[in-house]
């Protein structure tokens, strides 16, 4: 391309003959002016060439969106990888066809529209953020009902998660708590990115997840009688509330028991650091010299937490105490749990597929370098000690197993197809994201055909039916959907 200027000067841009780049040449009245023209052209990040590139890609994106509006169809997606420090280096890299172990930890693969990691929609003419496509075409992507109910936004966030190290102990707020908390922090002018900020958005974050490997986690307070029994065998802990067992015996009903649990947890979270060290130091010292505890005991995870989360000055993280208060679960592949608002939980180790309301609202209770806001955490926690519910899903057809929850925003299911078998999606379905975890498949939607390999992800707009057929081997896919028949905006219990 040649650009001629009125005074006879010329800028000439052409592809290099021996490298994958553009070259710019200038013809000017002096070498200094020529040099200046070239500099204006190639300056980073906002030189003329970069600005032309941005304008071109914006035009291409616009064109691609208009083309989608003319014929809504299935769209392949590229997920966004989060490289949090606790992530593994095998599973997600392998799923994406990248070398393993990966150079950086790959903790989560996000499929959705969250601002911290929006997926790219691979349209014919251009790559467009899925959030941009949905914003430009809410009815054609989400359908009338979902677009109206969720203000033109995809209501869920879909993830693959690979925990090599323990994650923080955490809980999520209700919709009412999140909205109030968000407004409060906005009014106090706390920056969204500030480390002291709790509420990143106005949404709640109920979540369901299905284990893909053996998966270890903490989930909800244990029944108080079990905690009392633990105090008997881990004597160091009884210093927290020496008369716990006696008071439990006198607690007449579930609300008295919840009050007692609250007092125990509040004590653990508010004692001065010196008192925490006085409890945990002898406990951990005893575990260190004893025989290695087995993985299905709280002792094992307490030791591991102490090694992974040392505090400066040799202090002990009080989150280690929670390992003894919470239900320790080992999920087999295909088993699931649901975390409603207010349930204290932590993922300890393993790979899962996870579906949640589109939110990033987390209140932490230790085992993290991030902020722990104890008063706010205590305000949102539920203190009902009970055995956790393990979900194994419900077969709704020969090939599909649905992991139902009370959440109105999402429904997770697994589709497993023997070689050369098909699954037909009804065109009345809402907006869905699919990921292929094993095998290969072909998806036919009218004249459109997609080929999916392992790790393939696609978005199915509301109203687009398709037939998915597995290849020569068994196919396993997970399907994120909006439950169409659920009550409007119901708050999960
Ligand atoms: Zn969570």
Residues 56, 73: contact at Cβ < 8 Å? no
Asked if the model's pLDDT at residue 228 lies above 80, the reply is yes
- In the sheet that holds 22-27, the strands lie side by side as 2-4, 10-15, 22-27
d(CA 73, CA 466): 10
Cα–ligand 1 centroid distance for 301 (angstroms): 18
Asked if the model's pLDDT at residue 318 lies above 90, the reply is yes
Judge: domain 394-481, CATH 2.60.120.10.
yes
pLDDT at 47 (0 to 100): 84
In sequence order, which residues have a C-beta less than 8 Å from that of residue 63 and are 6 or more positions away?
Answer: 125, 126
CATH class of 154-392: mainly beta
Residues 297, 319: contact at Cβ < 8 Å? no
Q: Which of 3-12, 107-116, 209-218, 377-386 has the lowest mean pLDDT?
A: 3-12
The H or E element that residue 360 is part of is: none
pLDDT at 55 (0 to 100): 77
Cα–ligand 1 centroid distance for 326 (angstroms): 14
Asked if the model's pLDDT at residue 488 lies above 60, the reply is no
Q: Which of 134-143, 369-378, 432-441 has the lowest mean pLDDT?
A: 369-378
Other CB atoms within 10 A of residue 376 CB: 18
pLDDT at 18 (0 to 100): 79
pLDDT at 53 (0 to 100): 78
Mean pLDDT of the region 99-128: 93
Q: What digits encode the pLDDT tens for the residues 202-212?
A: 999 999 999 99
Asked if the model's pLDDT at residue 43 lies above 90, the reply is no
Cα–ligand 1 centroid distance for 169 (angstroms): 8
Mean pLDDT of the region 48-72: 87
DSSP letter, residue 463: T
Asked if the model's pLDDT at residue 492 lies above 60, the reply is no
Cα–ligand 1 centroid distance for 438 (angstroms): 26
Asked if the model's pLDDT at residue 486 lies above 50, the reply is no
d(CA 100, CA 96): 10
Residues classed as catalytic:
364
Cα–ligand 1 centroid distance for 353 (angstroms): 13
Cα–ligand 1 centroid distance for 142 (angstroms): 26
Establish whether domains 154-392 and 394-481 are of one fold: yes
Q: Where are the domains of the chain?
A: 2-60, 154-392, 394-481
Cα–ligand 1 centroid distance for 345 (angstroms): 7
DSSP letter, residue 373: -
Cα–ligand 1 centroid distance for 272 (angstroms): 27
Q: Which residue has the tokens 């597995």?
A: 470
CA quadruple 274, 278, 281, 287: dihedral positive or negative?
A: negative
Mean pLDDT of the region 401-406: 96
Asked if the model's pLDDT at residue 491 lies above 70, the reply is no
Average predicted confidence (pLDDT) for the chain = 93
Q: What digits encode the pLDDT tens for the residues 145-187?
A: 999 999 999 999 999 999 999 999 999 999 999 999 999 999 9
Cα–ligand 1 centroid distance for 143 (angstroms): 29
pLDDT at 115 (0 to 100): 87
Report yes or no on whether pTM surpasses 0.85.
Answer: yes
Using alpha carbons only, how large is the chain's radius of gyration in Å?
27
pLDDT at 371 (0 to 100): 86
How many degrees, rounded to 5, is the angle at CA 435 between CA 334 and CA 419?
75
The H or E element that residue 91 is part of is: helix 91-95
CA quadruple 373, 375, 380, 384: dihedral positive or negative?
A: positive
d(CA 40, CA 3): 14
């Amino acid at each position: 391309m040649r650009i001629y200027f009125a005074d006879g000067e010329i800028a000439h841009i052409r592809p290099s003959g021996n490298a994958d780049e553009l070259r710019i040449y200038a013809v000017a009245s002096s070498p200094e002016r020529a040099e200046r023209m070239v500099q204006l052209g190639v300056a980073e990040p906002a030189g003329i060439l970069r600005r032309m590139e941005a304008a071109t890609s914006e035009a291409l994106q616009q064109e691609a969106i208009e083309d989608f509006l003319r014929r809504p169809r299935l769209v392949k997606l590229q997920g966004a990888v989060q490289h949090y420090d606790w992530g593994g280096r095998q599973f997600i890299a392998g799923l994406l066809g990248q070398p393993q172990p990966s150079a950086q930890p790959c903790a989560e693969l996000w499929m959705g529209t969250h601002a911290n990691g929006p997926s790219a929609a691979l349209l014919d003419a251009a790559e467009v953020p899925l959030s941009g496509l949905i914003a430009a075409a809410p009815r054609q992507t989400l359908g009338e009902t979902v677009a109206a109910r969720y203000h033109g936004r995809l209501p869920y966030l879909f993830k693959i998660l690979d925990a090599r190290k323990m994650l923080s102990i955490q809980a999520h707020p209700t919709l009412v708590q999140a909205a109030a908390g968000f407004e409060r922090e906005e009014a106090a002018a706390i920056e969204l990115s500030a480390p002291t900020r709790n509420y990143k958005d106005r949404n709640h974050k109920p979540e369901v997840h299905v284990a893909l490997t053996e998966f270890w986690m903490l989930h909800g307070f244990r029944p108080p009688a079990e905690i009392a029994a633990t105090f008997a065998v881990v004597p160091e802990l009884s210093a927290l509330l020496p008369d716990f067992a006696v008071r439990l015996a006198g607690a007449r009903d579930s609300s008295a028991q919840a009050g007692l649990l609250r007092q125990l947890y509040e004590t653990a979270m508010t004692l001065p650091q010196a008192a925490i060290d006085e409890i945990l130091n002898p406990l951990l010292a005893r575990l260190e010299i004893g025989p290695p505890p087995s993985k299905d005991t709280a002792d094992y995870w307490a030791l591991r937490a102490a090694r992974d989360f040392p505090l400066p000055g040799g202090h002990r993280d009080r989150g280690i105490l929670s390992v003894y208060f919470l239900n320790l679960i080992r999920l087999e592949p295909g088993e699931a749990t649901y975390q409603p608002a207010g349930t204290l939980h932590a993922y300890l180790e393993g790979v899962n597929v996870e579906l949640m309301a589109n939110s990033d609202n987390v209140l932490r209770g230790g085992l993290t370098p991030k902020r722990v806001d104890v008063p706010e955490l205590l305000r949102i926690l539920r203190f009902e000690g009970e055995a956790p519910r393990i979900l194994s899903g419900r077969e709704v057809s020969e090939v599909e197993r649905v992991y139902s929850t009370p959440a109105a925003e999402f429904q997770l299911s697994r589709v497993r197809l023997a070689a050369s078998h098909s699954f037909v999606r009804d065109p009345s379905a809402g907006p869905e994201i699919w990921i292929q975890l094993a095998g290969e498949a072909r998806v036919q939607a009218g004249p459109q055909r997609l080929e999916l390999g392992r790790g393939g992800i696609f978005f199915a707009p509301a109203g687009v039916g398709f037939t998915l057929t597995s290849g020569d081997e068994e196919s396993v896919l997970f399907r994120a959907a909006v439950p169409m028949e659920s009550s409007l905006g119901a708050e999960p219990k």
